[in-house]
Amino acid sequence: MANRTVKDAKSVRGTNPQYIVEKIIRSRIYDSKYWKEECFALTAELLVDKAMELRFIGGVFGGNIKPTPFLCLILKMLQIQPEKDIIVEFIKNEEFKYVRALGATYMRLVGTSIDCYKYLEPLLNDGRKLRQQTREGAYVLTHMDEYIDSLLRDERVVDIILPRIQKRYVLEENNELEPKISALDDDLDDNMESSGEEDEPMDTQPIAKEEKSRRSPPEKEKARDRDRRHRSRERERERERDRRPDEKKHRSRSRERDRDRGRDHERDRRHRSKERDRDRGHRIEKEERRHKEKDRGYERERERGREKDRDRDRDRGRDRDRERDRNRDGDRARYR
């Protein structure tokens, strides 16, 4: 009863929200001590207090697959389905960074593609440090922007397979999202403009007609050379202005090439992650079968021990009955 999803919960991508977490990991969470003690009868209001107590992020760890408190609270949020306004407040919370990470992870699991880009991309400017627990149980240092980037790009985060979302460029082409403006592009444009301004020479002051008339022939030659240099510089400036649109076109082409490379890299990484997930799933299933076989062996041993005890009790009872019969026969012989 305590592990059921609330009655008025909405299905996420056509299924129960809790089914986003794999069955084996979900059963481990249900059996964990933190789930039974801290997450029992937890509401959306009390969930905030538990989220403020978080000190690290992570999925499962250890050989027997123990879940972290962060993963337990994710499953609890999928179970009770808090309002969207509460999740947005989690994401906008700047005081508690693990509350923000919890809200961002939940939004990535249940939100639409537009909501994911709308609410998670601003968090890429958050460079605060986060503690993350690895599969071996050790702690490593990461940052908020790295974690958000993995939510938007990777297929598996904190041992949860993330639902698929549309690529950003598809939403931009459909005019559902505005084009992303990177802060690095603005810095590059500012640097190019500042370098162009520094290269521009100071305007020469006009020379009076009286001074020109007083000049000697060598001075007139020098003045002509200055005018030629000035004209050549003006031509260079015009060429530079004409080159800038070409550079922008070249930049857009290079971005398209980077996108194509990113897609190919994404496909390869997706294929590798699927193979890893299959291997992990087979390993976990083997471990489960091994545990079940051990439990069956223990049960058989116990049953055999019980059978032996029963046989001993039966033999003892028969021996007692024989002794009683002998005693009775002896007593009867005496009285005769």
- Of the candidates 274, 323, 67, 5, the one whose C-alpha atom is nearest the C-alpha of residue 155 is 274
Of residues 38 and 206, more confidently modeled = 38
pLDDT surpassing 80 at residue 255: no
Q: Lowest-pLDDT range, 28-32, 229-233, 290-294, 313-317?
A: 229-233
State the average pLDDT over residues 303-332: 84
Q: Would you say 51 and 98 are in contact if contact means Cβ atoms under 8 Å apart?
A: yes
Q: Which amino acid, 312? A: R
Mean pLDDT for all residues in the chain: 81
pTM metric for this prediction: 0.56
Give residue 310's pLDDT. Answer: 86
pLDDT surpassing 70 at residue 135: yes
In the chain, the percentage of residues whose pLDDT exceeds 90 is 30
User: 1: pLDDT confidence band, cut at 50, 70 and 90?
Assistant: very low
Q: Lowest-pLDDT range, 1-15, 44-58, 116-130, 158-172?
A: 1-15
Give residue 75's pLDDT. Answer: 92
- Of the candidates 42, 37, 73, the one whose C-alpha atom is nearest the C-alpha of residue 58 is 73
pLDDT surpassing 90 at residue 109: yes
What's CA 185's distance to the chain center, in Å? 26
pLDDT in tens, 263-304: 877 888 888 878 888 888 888 888 888 888 888 888 888 888
Q: Lowest-pLDDT range, 58-72, 124-138, 241-255?
A: 241-255
What's the CA gap between 289 and 283, in Å, rounded? Answer: 10
Give residue 205's pLDDT. Answer: 46
pLDDT in tens, 31-51: 999 999 988 888 888 889 999
User: What are phi and psi for residue 129, nearest 5 degrees?
Assistant: -85, 145
State the angle between helix axes of 44-52 and 69-80 in degrees (0 to 180), rounded to the nearest 10: 170
pLDDT in tens, 138-196: 999 999 999 999 999 999 999 999 999 888 888 888 888 888 776 666 666 666 666 55
Give residue 227's pLDDT. Answer: 73
Helix/strand/coil (H/E/C) assignment for every residue in the chain: CCCCCCCCCCCECCECHHHHCCHHHHHHHHHCHHHHHHCCCCCHHHHHHHHHCCCCEECEECCCCEECHHHHHHHHHHHHCCCHHHHHHHHHCCCCHHHHHHHHHHHHHHCCHHHHHHHHHHHHHCCCEEEEECCCCCEEEEEHHHHHHHHHHCCEECCEECCCCCCHHHHHHCCCCCCCCCHHHHHHHHHHHHHHHHHCCCCCCCCCHHHHHHCCHHHHHHHHHHHHHHHHHHHHHHHHHHHHHHHHHHHHHHHHHHHHHHHHHHHHHHHHHHHHHHHHHHHHHHHHHHHHHHHHHHHHHHHHHHHHHHHHHHHHHHHHHHHHHHHHHHHHHHHC
